[in-house]
Amino acid sequence: MSTSVPPQSRAILERLVSFDTTSRNSNLPLIEYVESYLARHGVRSRRVGSADERKTNLFATIGPDAPGGLILSGHTDCVPVDDQDWSSDPFVLTEREGRLFGRGSADMKGFLACVLAVVPELVANPRAKPIHIAFSYDEEVGCTGVLELVDDLNARGFQADMCLVGEPTGMELVIGHKSGRAYRCLVTGLEAHSSLAPRAVNAIEIAARLIAGISEIAREFARGIRDDDFDLPHATINTGLIEGGTGINIVPHHCSFTFEYRLLAGQDPDEVFNRVKAMADALLPLMRAIHPGADIVFEQIYDYPGHFIASDTPAVQRMIALSGSNRLAKVAYGTEAGHLQNGLGVPTVICGPGDIAVAHKPDEFVTLDQLRRCEDLLKRLCGAG
């Protein structure tokens, strides 16, 4: 294809980016667009939705109703643009020097657009095994939406030979990522006028002591076991949000913070949590000596498994042959691959257009060249068969 001709996926990506599918919002308008697009090409699809019906997964099949075949998997949600300084409207796809800017363009509506762009060709080619399209929701808040789809497919006795998750890898092959878990910690103290601070329990100060302990765990991780196949070779733990206090002259009685950690294979997520919980348990007697009602409570937000697929599996070897690259990477960020491979028993490889380094940032972009490469790979991967 000439580089002067826009890839087929460009126009579709423009539509996908226009839908604000930040995880706090419904993804139904985008799903309705995709359903309509697929229906125009004679592709059957069905929804597997959330309990409140505000969001849904979409599952579509091209070809025979038969076991085996390939799943093309991606998530429809994106992260917020709040307080980010964009050079252009994040929900209007903007082209500059071969780059397409917009929220989700890399992570991962670029891949969704490529999948939809090749649908007409996939429909036109007869095949013995099906191609399945799986578009999920709430990946960005812990890979939770896809679990409903996994349960639904298992209940139907679903089988497939391979799954491709199109997260932004720069079109490199990724065979592994870390596991992830996140918690919200709620600290309840006792408020008072700040002039009487010793008679109160300062929830922010208690939270700060816990956060300092979490930072020490992070330093231990950096000195600990390594897997140099990863882009960041050790486990990580990080405090991402904190909220507390009502006034400068009031000892705060509430504080909440969230932390998440990403572990290598063999590291126990329960053990990490138990360390943080032990810190909290050590602080409670000090707090309750002043106020018996003081407390520290943890709420788990998400928990997704790590992912690994051996390089000698047929799925990986197939991708190596099609991509022409023997380079296999592992990444620190999480994906739905662990749920799909572990939950469905389907060998899963990660590869898609875009660069994770620009994802979640202002002026997120995907290049036209990456879209072309992805379309070409999908056509070859899904060729008549």
Coil, strand or helix: which one is 116?
helix
Active-site residue among 20, 107, 139, 140? 139
Q: How far apart are CA 97 and CA 363, in angstroms?
A: 13
Q: How far apart are CA 35 and CA 156, in angstroms?
A: 21
Closest by CA position to 208, among listed 172, 247, 159, 259 = 259
Angle between helical axes of 269-290 and 203-223 (0-180°, round to 10): 150
Q: How far apart are CA 98 and CA 102, in angstroms?
A: 13
Q: Is the dihedral of CA 358, 360, 364, 370 positive or negative?
A: positive
- 343 by Cβ neighbours in 10 Å (0-12 / 13-18 / 19+) ranks as middle
Known catalytic residue at 355: no
| Chain CA centroid to CA 12, Å | 21
Known catalytic residue at 139: yes
Active-site residue among 35, 77, 138, 336? 77
What DSSP string runs through 5-40? SPPTHHHHHHHHHHS--BTTS--HHHHHHHHHHHHH
Range list of β-strands (E), 108-266: 131-136, 162-165, 173-177, 179-188, 192-193, 236-244, 250-251, 254-263
Tokens 């620190």, residue located: 332
Q: Residues with catalytic annotation? A: 77, 139
